[in-house]
Amino acid sequence: MLTVAGFLILAVVAVAAGVLTVGAVRGAGSATHLVVYGSLAPGEPNHHLVAGLGGEWRPCVITGTVENHNGYRIFRWARDGARIDAQMLISQELPRNWSRLDEFEGSDYRRVVIPAEVRGRQVLANVYTDARNVRTGSEIRS
């Protein structure tokens, strides 16, 4: 079983090798993984933006904080933050839709790759986070 430390070492190696790139992430499977915690989640008002992408929804856990900003929830990742229940969409259609989703999220949000726990294992996934964050080094990429 891969420990969190081992997982983070692999992520750093992937970054150093140029596997993770700005925009859609290639490698590590994260290009097809999106964590949602607010309006894009099933049953929420903007779910229609991802509902047609097909794929599979799985419950997941991310760590950090969620606050309200302009009437919407906004997430900030922190390795030692609170455990937050979320949903992960795993879809082969995500890479073809990142630019559309990025445009929808707008300037208040930034898409980054973070570790998420799914069925007891750590995976890399995209998530929309607070664009006002000063880069802390906590995200795997900016």
pLDDT tens-digit series, residues 26-45: 335 699 999 999 899 999 99
d(CA 60, CA 127): 12
Whole-structure pTM value:
0.74
d(CA 1, CA 7): 10
The full set of domain ranges for the chain reads 4-130
In the predicted structure, residue 3 carries a pLDDT above the cut 70 = no
The two beta strands, 109-118 and 121-130, are antiparallel
Name the CATH superfamily, with its identifier, for domain 4-130: Gamma-glutamyl cyclotransferase-like (3.10.490.10)
Closest to 82 measured CA to CA, from 62, 57, 56: 62
Would you call 10 helix, strand, or coil by DSSP?
Answer: helix
